Every structure is written in structure tokens, then in C-alpha cells.
A = this chain, B = another copy of it.
Amino acid sequence: MQTTELIGLVAATLTTAAFLPQVYKTWVHKSTRDISLVMYMVLLTGTLLWLFYGVRIASFPIILANSITAVLLFLMLLMKMKYR
């Protein structure tokens, strides 16, 4: 694998996995007052568009990364609405 591809892979992994600690923190503390609902709505919309983009160019890494991110963002949205 080329260095550039490796950088892209690590970048995709980090920007996907980054949401895990937030999902965990929110799940544990059940508190979302400081978290912006609008951010997660816009981020989820953008991520779903990236997923659609990945499908159109048949790019498995983009499809995989954005599918996982979309699930994590969706969980955050559910918790944001549940734990106002």
C-alpha cells in the first residue's frame, strides 16, 4: 500500500472512531445539555451524502467509514433527544 493511501486510511479511521468516546460519555452520563443538536443533524446529513458519494464512485473505504460514522451520529442524535 502506498504511503498516501495509508495516510488516508488512518485519517478515515480516526475521524470515524473519534465519535466513539462521545457516544460512550453521553451513554454513561445521560447528559447532553452542552452538545449542539444542530451540529449532529448537519453532520449526519453530510455523512450520509459522503456515503452516497462513496457508492457512486464505488469506493469501499468511503462507504465503510461513513456507514460507521452515520450509525454513531444517529446514536448521538437519539441520545440528544432522549437526555435533553
Contacts and interface: CB of A to CB of B under 8 A. Distances in A.
Nearest to A7: B53
9 contacts: A4-B57, A8-B49, A11-B47, A13-B46, A14-B43, A15-B47, A20-B39, A26-B34, A32-B34
Contacts of A4: 53, 56-57
A32 to B, nearest CB: 6
B33 A34 contact: yes
Copies assembled: 2
Interface residues of A, number: 41
Interface of A: 3-4, 7-8, 10-22, 24-26, 29, 31-36, 38-40, 42-43, 45-47, 49-50, 52-53, 56-57
- A interface: dominant SS: helix
